[in-house]
Structure 1
Amino acid sequence: MKNILAQRPPIHQIRQLPLPAPERQELANGLILHELQMGSQEVLKIEWLFQAGRWFEEHKLQARATAALLKAGAGQRTADELADFFDFYGAKLKISDDFDGLSIRLYCLSKHLPKLLPAVMDLLLDPQFEQEELDQFKQLSKQRLRIQLQRNELQAYRIFTEKLFGSEHPYGYNSEAEDYKLLNRELLLAHHRRCFLANNCQVIVSGKTDAASMDLLKTELSRLPQGPSPQGSALLLPPAEMGVFHYPAIKAESQQASIRIGRRALSQKSPDYAAFHFTNTLLGGYYGARLMQNLREDKGYTYSVYSAEELMRHAGYFYIYTDVAKEVKTAALTEIYKEIERLQEEPVAEEEMQMLKNYSLGMFLSATDGVFNLSEVWKELILSGLDASFYNQLVEATLAMPASEVMRIAQTYLQKEQLTEVVFG
């Protein structure tokens, strides 16, 4: 028998990403339902997406507290009974909030959907926000905050985002103990009433769907009421505060300094977004990036250093982050800016460009591997007002990226005077 392991399989250049589009349907109550029918296993993922994050708060921490306590009793079940109920059916219910939205994700076996779906609808229609659970949340959150405020990396993050977006803006404000103290049950109920509306919701169902499960889902989703769409923040985004900001550590015995350097990010709809994303990856967006090779592998200043993009619906930011020993923080800063200057002044070698292109294309492909990953890709596209062409344009731009474009992006967007530098410790 011929040894099949002796023959290498053919390697194909990625030219396009396979992005099967979900079927979109608008229900009578205004809810938008997306169905991504794929997979061979009898499992489903259903995600409810509400515009109910920080951007839509009327009081600080409303969104975070609502998300954290949505499972604190609903319908006729207490918080403990709800937890036991989902565990009994082997289901996972995850609730999270971010700057713009609130997400409820249900993972379950298809056969258990008729039992589980009404329980999820109880969260959406009749949450209790039990007072005992709220009191415990407030107490634990204040304790956690008090501990976290002793950490240099959290202080650096808080100051950095405040400098970029302002201390009162939804993207820039920092939670304080007094904010938790002012939370009450009525604030959570009010946020729920304003935001948990059918016409303020999109649902993505992915997995091995069938007619019965979709009919059941549509019936249950039709129970969500309509109402006036919640109004987002009316605060104008203030100019970012650029410059250098250094602060001593809270604890005198602290041995580390936390570094954050960055700026407001480009929108995904910007013509320069693909090139900026590529440049960010080269600088610090993966383990083999230049910052990691310099500060960790060569100098030994840190265990990890990365650059990243955090994109929200109305703004975003690019940042470099690392923690180093206090005695090398000045040297670490010098090396970070040296790597930025290299991008601005020296063309990237063809071998490094090709390696990064291969890595980037592989990451794009990995992001679409499997129906649940694909649902995450489509979620970001839907919420950002983009379509499948966005990713394929990203692939095309990556394949064609010249070294000169990396230099232009670094020269245009990474000048030192455009950046905000925060060092805590």
Structure 2
Amino acid sequence: MTAPVSHRSADEIGRTEQGPRPLPELGEQRPSADLSTVDTTIANGLRVIAVRRASVPMVEVRLRIPFADPAASSVGSQHSAWAEVLANTILTGTATRDRIAIDTELALVGSELDAVVDPERLSISGSVLATGLDTVLDVIRDVLTGATYPADEVDRERDRLVERIALARSQPNVIAREALQKHLYGDHPFAKEMPEAEEVARVSREEVVALHAKAVLPRGSVLVLVGDVDPDAVIGTVESVLAGWTGEGTAVTISPLPPVTPGDVVLVHRPGAVQSQIRLAGRAVQRTDPKYPALQLANLVYGGFFSSRLVENIREDKGYTYSARSHPEFTIHGATLLIDADTASDVTAAALLETRYELARLGLVPPTESEVDVARSYAIGTLLTTTSSQSGLASFLVNLVALGLGIDWLVAHPQRLQAVTPEQVAAAALEFFAPGNFTGVLVGDAELLKPKLAALGGVSFQ
């Protein structure tokens, strides 16, 4: 008779008779190898960045068109609704290709394209076998210069959008995000990441066509190509293929955001909610600021990864939440430090208290040298891992370019992180993580939450 198998716990596996098993040393983190790159602006005003990374015979394509509302100050602007329908229908037909033809041509070269939009930009992205790049560029050209927005496609996608928006607005995370954006930025278009369903329902094909003609412009836009390409040769190909994409003026960038004003957390009532969403926001600095590397490491120590102080406190130790994190958010004009945590209603006040406590403790009990070293290794390792693939490098680079940076910043950043001292991290913690620097929203059932939150203080009730 076979003896029953004995299953050891993780704690038992990690220990010997002499004590815990030692963790292996971290491996050497090597910076990216020299990348063959060309960064230029072609005749129509489009900036093109081509990077050779020939690890696999593929090419990643990222086109970013600034797409902010040019009439942001006008009451009742419908730009976000028009833009959402445009993004969902721009790939559905041209004068020479219908939707099936576009999808078929792309599939034959191992490719697909996707279009998305937000308050800052319209993005078209995809990947393709290196041998099929000319086909993808020609499809993109056809879409940019001749998208027809067939009426039946507009009607179909508009109806789907209405349903998706209605569903999304019932989700706690969406409610919390919209409440935070409104609290921070008021009527600024950046606060309107999703149009109202009724606005989308009113969008006509003619309005979408007009927006394309006015706003889908090469000047101010950027195309990033990363993969098995000769950068010089592919720049010439892009210039030839996209020469017919022209337009008057420059793509519209978003206006500067109002500064984050510290203050109370605003309680947003969600009747019957059994969970609460805590969303805090404070001032940060752009990646070009000399303080940014130290701020990045201070953020990691606070709540930027699984071994952070915040996670150890309210997830591992107290079990208040399954997920908690802090992270920076960048726009072309500034940066914001965000803290997110979802928690059960009965421990919401306690979770908010501990979140603030860890903010204060980061400044008053500065990160140790060991904490800084772990955060540094994580930051460098994550950056190198993320950008080691063609897809990761293309996506990271197109976001950097939008912030006025380029591949030089990416290559040099590990060295900047290596140079940060624990004293600089302590200074960043004291300057940026003080609880009084933050404001935010808390979404939950006010009837359940108000008594404890009132006792805690620093919370206002609508």
State if a TM-score over 0.5 links the two structures.
yes
TM category (shorter chain) comes to 0.7 to 0.9
Q: Give the TM-score normalised by the residue count of structure 2.
A: 0.81
Change (3 A) 1:421 1:228: closer
Counterpart pick for 1:37 among 52, 59, 63: 52
Equivalent residue for 1:221?
242
Quickly say closer, same or farther: Cα 1:230–1:387, change in 2 above 3 A: closer
With over 3 angstroms needed to count, the CA separation of the structure-2 counterparts of 1:152 and 1:371, relative to structure 1, is closer
Counterpart selection for 1:50 from 42, 45, 65: 65
Paired residues, what number?
Answer: 414
> In the alignment, which residue of structure 1 is the partner of 2:119?
99
* Match for residue 332 of structure 2 among 298, 309, 313: 313
Q: Distance in 1 between matches of 2:308 and 2:324?
A: 9
- Does the aligned pair in 2 maintain the 1:54–1:98 contact within 8 Å? no
Q: Which amino acid in structure 2 is aligned with residue 78 of structure 1? A: D
Separation of aligned partners in 2, 1:348 and 1:81: 57
Superposed, 1:52-67 pairs within 5 Å as: 52-53=67-68, 59-67=79-87
3-state secondary structure, aligned to 1:49: strand
Aligned to 1:27: 42
The 5 A counterparts of 1:262-281 are 262-281=281-300
Report the alpha carbon displacement of residue 389 of structure 1 after superposing the two structures with TM: 4.7
Which residue of structure 2 lines up, in the alignment, with residue 192 of structure 1?
Answer: 212
The residue type paired with residue 45 of structure 2 is G
CA contact (8 A) 1:74 1:123 kept: yes
Using the alignment, how far apart are the partners of 1:375 and 1:149 within structure 2? 31
CA offset digits 1:138-195 (Å, max 9, x no partner):
32223223233333222111110111111x2121135322321332223222221123
Given that residues 29 and 222 in structure 1 are in contact (C-alpha distance below 8 angstroms), is that contact kept between their aligned partners in structure 2? yes
State the TM-score, normalizing by the size of structure 1. 0.87
Inter-partner Cα distance in structure 2 for 1:138 and 1:150: 19
Q: How does 1:101-116 map to 2 (within 5 A)?
A: 101-116=121-136
Tell me the SS of whatever aligns to 1:198.
coil
Give the superposition deviation at 1:235.
Answer: 7.8
C-alpha distance in 1 between matches for 2:35 and 2:344: 48
1:346 to 356, 360, 365: 365
Alignment CA distance shift 1:148-1:28 (3 Å): closer
2:223 is aligned, of 200, 203, 212, to 203
Q: Distance in 2 between matches of 1:305 and 1:48?
A: 32
Give the counterpart letter for 2:40 in structure 1: Q
Q: Which residue of 2 aligns with 1:5?
A: none
Contact 1:55 1:99 in 2 (8 A): no
Q: Distance in 2 between matches of 1:405 and 1:233?
A: 32
Q: Secondary structure at the match of 1:23?
A: strand
Other-structure match for 1:3: none
Separation of aligned partners in 1, 2:64 and 2:167: 32
1:257, 1:326 within 8 Å by CA — same for their partners in 2? yes
Using the TM superposition, give the Cα deviation of residue 11 of structure 1 relative to its aligned residue in structure 2, in angstroms.
Answer: 4.8
Change (3 A) 1:50 1:148: closer
Q: Does 1:293 align with 2:330?
A: no
Hey, what does 1:175 align to over in structure 2?
Answer: 195
**Residues 1:238 and 1:179: Cα distance change in structure 2 (over 3 Å):** farther
1:159 to 159, 175, 179: 179
User: Does structure 2 conserve the Cα–Cα contact (< 8 Å) formed by 1:164 and 1:240?
Assistant: yes
1:424 to 2:448 alignment: no
Q: Runs of 5+ in structure 1 lacking a partner?
A: 1-7
Q: For residue 352 of structure 1, report the CA deviation from its aligned partner.
A: 1.9
> CA shift at 1:214, angstroms?
5.2
Report the 3-state secondary structure (helix = DSSP H, G, I; strand = E; otherwise coil) of the residue aligned with 1:224: coil
Cα distance in 2, alignment partners of residues 262 and 161 from structure 1: 10
CA distance in 2, matches of 1:194, 1:381: 26
- Report the identity percentage: 24
Task: Give how far 1:337 is off.
Answer: 0.9
Judged with a 3 Å threshold, the aligned counterparts in structure 2 of structure 1 residues 46 and 390 are, in CA distance, closer, same or farther, namely: closer
RMSD over equivalenced CA pairs, Å: 2.8
Once the two structures are TM-superposed, the CA of residue 35 in structure 1 deviates from its matched residue by: 1.8
How many Å separate the matches in 1 of 2:433 and 2:26?
Answer: 40
2:252 aligned with 1:237, yes or no? no
Residue 312 (structure 1) shift: 1.5
Rounded to whole Å, the distance in 1 between the matches of 2:136 and 2:286 is: 38
* AA matched with 2:349: T
Give, in whole Å, the separation in 1 of the partners of 2:389 and 2:418.
24
How far the C-alpha of 1:24 sits from its partner, in A, is 2.3
Counterpart-to-counterpart distance in 2, 1:277 and 1:55: 33
Q: Residue 60 and residue 49 in structure 1: after superposition, are their counterparts in 2 closer, same or farther (change >3 A)?
A: closer
Match of 1:259 among 275, 278, 285: 278
Aligned to 1:4: none
CA 1:277/1:61 → structure 2, altered by over 3 Å: closer, same or farther? farther
Q: Show the counterpart of 2:269.
A: 248
Q: Offset of 1:351 from its aligned partner?
A: 1.9
1:220, CA displacement in angstroms? 0.9
Alignment of 1:309-388 (within 5 A): 309-388=328-407
